[in-house]
Amino acid sequence: MPRATALLGLVCTLEQQNFARREHKTTALHKSPEIDEAALFLAGPNWNAEPPLMTTSQNDPGLAALAATYGIDTTYHDIWGADRSAPDDALVKVLQSLGAPLGSPADAPSALRGRQIDRWTRRLEPVLIAWDGRSSSTTLRIPSSLEPSRCACMLRLENGSEHPWSVTLSDLTTIEAAKVDGALYLVKELGQLQDMPLGYHRFSVEIDGHRDESLIISAPKTAWTYAADSDKSRRWGVFMPLHALRSRQSRWGGTLSDLEEFTSWTASMGGSLVGTLPLLATFLDEPFDPSPYSPASRLFWNELFLNLEQIPELASCPAAQSLLANQPRSSSQNQVNRVDYRAWSEGQRAVLEPLSACFFERGGERDSGFQAFLAKQPRANDYAQFRAVQERQRSGWIVWPDGPRDGRIRVSDFDPARQRYHLYAQWQLFQQINRLADRSREVGARLYLDFPLGVHPDSYDTWRERASFANGIAVGAPPDMFFTGGQNWGFPPMQPQAIRDQGYSYFIDAIRNHLRFAGALRIDHVMGLMRLFWIPQGMGAQDGVYVRFAPDEMYAILALESRRFQCPIVGEDLGTVPESVRAAMTEHDFLRMYVAQFEMSPAIEKALPPTPATSMASVNTHDTVLFRGFWDGLDIEIMRRLELIDDDDFRERREERAQLEQALLRFLGKAQLLEDDGSAMVALQGILERLAAGPAQVLMVTLEDLWLEREPQNVPGTGDDWENWRRKARYSMEEFISNQDVLGTLNMIHRARQTGTS
């Protein structure tokens, strides 16, 4: 098809799917345009999701109908198979956070009417998808009075080229009609595009002086995978939290330079990936929260991990040199087995502040490298101002004074030196992470980064991108057999309609911030692309509700960015996950996670099921006990200490664990993967050999397993009481890279990965 002809149309797989999927619920719409407004049902922005996991709602009928138009599941099946309905007051609060104009269930009918009017008067969806550059038919909603009008269409491609055309609305096929608020509305078929380049494009229509616009995501159907690199399609890597990694050069905790050395060593062993926890900025003052999964931003990095000795200004800044000379070395802090985040932060800052002062006093703002950084990171100055205001206020932004709280910062609201400090620190981080990423590409052991589900409620992201986040809501999980009251994770969810209206600009920026450095990217709680469990402020998790997103649009963004950066996407799909999530991951070539500790069975023939080819396999995760702890039943002991199980449950679980271990040993023995009496180390090596010989695209090895560490890095749901994310590795890098058990196991894994046999 000639290029000019191919561009005379537009894309909307979403709309086509919408009509097909709601056809069984709205058959009357296709029979007659004379429809009573009260009978009109329009699902919200999530028509391309699977049908809601609902039974008969116990809620106020009007409120339930309104909730459905916003993609809220008023009822869900819990882990015991029972139906749980959200209280009406919880639905009211969730609907309010989604922008619904209601104060009580009594307002639902008028709010529903307004919602219907809004949906029908919006001529185009804010986001449209073109899979592999090919669209299905695109639709346009108009009042019937406009049928005689001309419609001026414009397609603006990402490269800036424009392709206009026009049509007479009466010439277009009407595929649906409805009477809304006394006016007849028509759904017109605009046409389709067959030859759209991949990228983010803009489509607009103008009718009688009124203009509407949509973002088009022209995306590949599948993400980039290792299958594109046939020479190294069966890879392995190692995992180590950076705060736990220590070397002779590190002081309080691991640095980006330590991580660089670690990647080089991994590559020398034949490994292709180095995984760690999120490296994002955190709050280490007031508020204080060092958790890598509650970052101060998903757009900026953590200055704790800077190698101060590699900062160029150090050579010409005597004040910083003197302060650095007095910092502790491995002979002191490296021997402490717990990270002191406050001391680490204070120690880093004591040196970084004079370095920043030296840089700016010498006119460093004119430095070409610094200017290039600002050009690549246009939000950096805004972020630095935000952090400077936060330090002056010593509180989260939600309780700041008017002005800065509302996003309007004046120079008088902060100390300029503190603002320059944060700007300088981010510049240095950008340089060192860039150098690390470049080095990882050179040696062939790429970074496996982690994209957390959310951000701290007082984060820069929620402050500057507040329209993208739901107000008065926290993400969590419904009650289950361990957390009978459910879980509240404390951070706000993104607002589904708002992020669509904004063309996912924040989400795209956050994803790109990771992909530019990564060799693989893990999406935390990948089910969140489809739906999340929302808990209104002041209510318990047992009263939460599921709210749906438009998953195809986020899958399209991830697939497109994955291809552009040639970076595979790994979806964290552990726990109770709807089958539709894994089906979508398969459809889009996202790797799923296979975790041996979750897959094991007491049935001998199924003791360690085979790994799927489209998976990243591992023995455990950062949220579980390590293998020795699992073998010893430490996880069961922790559940008892947390009073999640009673003594009878404890004894029963220990017996079950013993049966599982015996089944595993017999299974490994039959597979000739067991050499002696079945100690924890021998069992671990047998498991790793089995996984390495399997078809999984990637095997990730928790390095601490190789010396039988027991303690977990994190015990979910325990907060500061368990000193999560603080434990340092038992051995330094200089020690473990010469440890014969470590080297022998990794050599075995490399051989099995190469040959596919144990």
Q: What does 687-740 look like in DSSP terms, one character per residue? A: HHHHHHHSS-SEEEEEGGGGGT--S-S--TT-GGGGTTT-BPPSS-HHHHTT-H
Question: What is the model's pLDDT at position 232?
Answer: 57
Q: Is the pLDDT of residue 255 over 90?
A: yes
Question: What is the model's pLDDT at position 553?
Answer: 97
Helix, strand, coil fractions of the chain, as percent rounded to 5: 45, 15, 40
In whole angstroms, give the CA distance from residue 668 to residue 79.
Answer: 32
Q: How sure is the predictor about 749, in pLDDT bands with cuts at 50, 70 and 90?
A: very high
Least confident of 35-44, 82-91, 278-287: 35-44
Question: What is the model's pLDDT at position 757?
Answer: 61
Q: 3-219 belongs to which CATH class?
A: mainly beta
Least confident of 171-185, 371-385, 399-413: 171-185
Question: What is the model's pLDDT at position 25?
Answer: 29
In whole angstroms, give the CA distance from residue 448 to residue 450.
Answer: 7
Question: What is the model's pLDDT at position 251?
Answer: 85
515-551 confidence digits (pLDDT tens): 999 999 999 999 999 999 999 999 999 999 999 999 9
10-69 confidence digits (pLDDT tens): 323 223 333 233 332 222 222 222 223 322 223 333 333 333 444 445 778 889 999 999
Question: What is the model's pLDDT at position 571?
Answer: 97
309-353 confidence digits (pLDDT tens): 999 999 999 999 999 998 776 544 555 789 999 999 999 999 999
CA 355 to the chain's CA centroid: 34
CA 693 to the chain's CA centroid: 30
Question: What is the model's pLDDT at position 365?
Answer: 85
Contact 503, 550 (CB under 8 A): no
Q: Is the pLDDT of residue 420 over 60?
A: yes
* Residues of the chain above pLDDT 70, percent: 90
Q: Is the pLDDT of residue 653 over 50?
A: yes
Can you tell me the mean pLDDT for 587-616? 95
CA-to-CA separations, 352 to 219, 258, 389, in angstroms, rounded:
42, 19, 19
Cβ neighbours, 10 Å, residue 697: 21
668-717 confidence digits (pLDDT tens): 988 887 766 678 999 999 999 999 999 999 999 999 999 999 999 999 88
Q: Is the pLDDT of residue 433 over 90?
A: yes
Residue 12 φ then ψ, to 5°: -165, 75
Written as six digits, the tokens of 714 are: 């994190």
pTM, whole model, 2 decimals?
A: 0.91
603-643 confidence digits (pLDDT tens): 999 999 999 999 999 999 999 999 999 999 999 999 999 88
Question: What is the model's pLDDT at position 313?
Answer: 93
* Residue-averaged pLDDT of the chain: 88
In whole angstroms, give the CA distance from residue 733 to residue 245.
Answer: 7
Give the chain's largest Cα–Cα span: 85
Contact 29, 177 (CB under 8 A): yes
Question: What is the model's pLDDT at position 57?
Answer: 58
Contact 204, 164 (CB under 8 A): no
Q: Is the pLDDT of residue 383 over 90?
A: yes
Cα-Cα-Cα-Cα dihedral of 201, 205, 211, 212, to 10°?
Answer: -60
Question: What is the model's pLDDT at position 34?
Answer: 29
Q: Is the pLDDT of residue 485 over 60?
A: yes
490-523 confidence digits (pLDDT tens): 999 999 999 999 999 999 999 999 999 999 999 9
In whole angstroms, give the CA distance from residue 530 to residue 72.
Answer: 12
97-153 confidence digits (pLDDT tens): 999 999 999 999 999 999 999 999 999 999 999 999 887 678 999 999 999 999 999
Q: Select from 572, 486, 485 the least CA-distant residue to 524.
A: 572
Residue 549 CB-half CA count within 13 A: 26
What's the DSSP call for residue 565? H
Cα-Cα-Cα-Cα dihedral of 614, 617, 623, 629, to 10°?
Answer: 160
